[in-house]
Structure 1
Amino acid sequence: MSKHSSPPRRQRGATGRVRLIGGRLKRSQLEVVDSPGLRPTPDRVRETLFNWLSFDVPGKRVLDPFAGTGALAFEAISRGASEAWLIEQQPRVAALLKHNADRLNVADQLRVTKGDALTLLAAPASNRFGLVFLDPPFHHGLASTAAHLLERNGWLEDNALIYLECESSHPAQVPDNWSQLRYTQAGESMAFLYQRTPPSEALA
């Protein structure tokens, strides 16, 4: 039996679990906690996303600025991403992300920072990323702001892929040089996959 297949001991304060659906950590469970604005991406939407990404995940450097449960970033690591940086503002949620990374033996690939995503993205980039998950809390207009900060401050590789999830009542506005590749909707959530084109090429 895989060392990840038996039910793990639950971290104090955890209130539920989210199961990973593919890759080397398939069927592993992430412990999660109830927190304001925390909205786990449903299994069906995650499966659709990673079908979209197909062979584009291996080797990618991943950024997850509104990490929440971390399911998208952990899923990417499971499927071959080289590293992931997760940003989470809520202390309990950030602590649980670190616990999950330790428990699943991926702490060397998965960095967790407790902080405000928009504050960090407003600074010049400390690194560039080839795959970004933008899945902020709804009803605050965060997706549009984060998208433009990513572009403006150099956080994206030339042809980066960006997954963006937002509420249907408040569609996000993204930079002009992001091309929409895919789209799906589930209830109130709209999900998009974009690919960035460097501005100089977009104007050519």
Structure 2
Amino acid sequence: MRIVAGKFKRRSLLPPAGEQTRPITDRAKEQLFENLGGDLSGRRVLDAFAGTGTIGLEALSRGAAGCVFLEADKRTHGLLKQNVERLGVTDVSVTWRVDILRTSFRPRPAPEHTLDLLPYDLLFFDPPYKMASGIVEGRPLYKSLQRVAKPELCAANAEMILRVPTELDIVPPPEWTQYRELRVGGMKFLMCDRAPFDADAVGDDAEADDESDGAAGEEE
């Protein structure tokens, strides 16, 4: 695993251990970022289901202002932290061990962490393939995609990228408007813009999930 372009180009990254995550290939990563315009200067990034950080770190290499990495698996989260440290981007990053189905998406950095992390401008969601089939109205992952679209979390012109298997027919929540589908091998990227915010679109259940974050996460 390596960084494809930008100031950290060709820097190697620690890969995930075992088979719990599916690292994105360099080819797929290059095509994705080309479709995003390449230069991400000033953008605030969320990398959900981050694995060892290859997407968020690529964004930082290409000029992003900062990145919040969310990863639930303890071992993978440890490797993610090592990758952030080896690239020297701890001052513009938060690595958060948290259940993405329950999180508030509001990082709570230490007082000395002065980075303005919100609202997010660019969001990556890369759920495990077995979880991707749960992007259905009323299910926890679907609600997470709704919850993160709130105006206090997400910029009005934010983009969200959702990676899923090509065989799945996924319809993003109405908070997101899909404008492109990029297929690379056996995966596809659903590229979405944030729709105009509707306060009634996120129901009571999603609000309850938003409050249940509590001790679920471990922020580093």
Name the TM-score, length of structure 2 as normaliser. 0.75
Tell me the distance in 2 between the aligned counterparts of 1:129 and 1:37. Answer: 27
Aligned to 2:130: 139
Which one scores higher on RCO, CA 8 angstroms, separation ≥ 6? 2
Task: State the 1:37 CA deviation.
Answer: 3.0
* Cα distance in structure 1, aligned partners of 2:38 and 2:170: 27
Aligned mates of 2:100, 2:176 — CA distance in 1: 20
Which of 34, 51, 71 is equivalent to 1:88? Answer: 71
* SS class of match (1:118): coil
CA contact 2:146–2:175 (8 Å) conserved in 1? no
In 2, Cα distance between the equivalents of 1:167 and 1:148?
21
Check conservation: 1:62, 1:131, Cα contact below 8 A: yes
| Cα displacement (A) at 1:44 | 1.2
| Worse overlay, 149-158 or 27-36 | 149-158
Against the structure 1 CA distance between its residues 33 and 154, is the aligned structure 2 distance closer, same or farther, given a 3 Å change threshold?
same
Post-superposition Cα deviations, 1:107-148, rounded to whole Å, max 9, x if no partner, equal 11121011111111xx37454200000111002235552322
Share of identical aligned residues, percent?
Answer: 31
Distance 1:107 1:193, change over 3 A: same
In structure 1, which of residues 65, 69, 74 is the aligned counterpart of residue 52 of structure 2? 69
Unaligned runs of 5+ in 1: 1-17
CA distance in 2, matches of 1:33, 1:177: 32
The one-letter code sitting in structure 2 at the alignment partner of 1:106 is: V
Between Structure 1 and Structure 2, the one with more strand by share is: 1
Per the alignment, residue 190 of structure 1 pairs with: 188
- Tell me which stretches of 4 or more aligned residues in structure 1 moved more than 4 Å: none
Map 1:14-25 to 2 at 5 A: 18-25=1-8
In structure 2, the residue matched to 1:157 is 155
Matched residues in 2 for 1:150 and 1:96: separation? 25
**Which of 118, 125, 130 is the equivalent residue of 2:101?**
118
Partners in 1 of 2:84 and 2:105 — Cα distance?
A: 27
The 1:107/1:91 distance shift into structure 2, 3 A limit, reads: same
Give me the whole-angstrom Cα distance separating, in 1, the residues matched to 2:98 and 2:29.
Answer: 25
Q: 2:105, 2:12 → 1: CA distance?
A: 35
SS in 1 for 2:90: coil
Bigger mean CA offset, 76-85 vs 132-141: 132-141
Root mean square deviation, CA, Å: 2.1
1:102 and 1:134 map into 2 onto residues whose CA distance is 22
Q: How does 1:87-106 map to 2 (within 5 A)?
A: 87-106=70-89
**Which sits farther off after the overlay, 70-79 or 95-104?**
95-104
List gaps (5 residues or longer) in structure 2. 108-117, 136-140, 199-220
1:36 to partner: Cα distance: 4.1
The residue aligned with 1:13 is: none
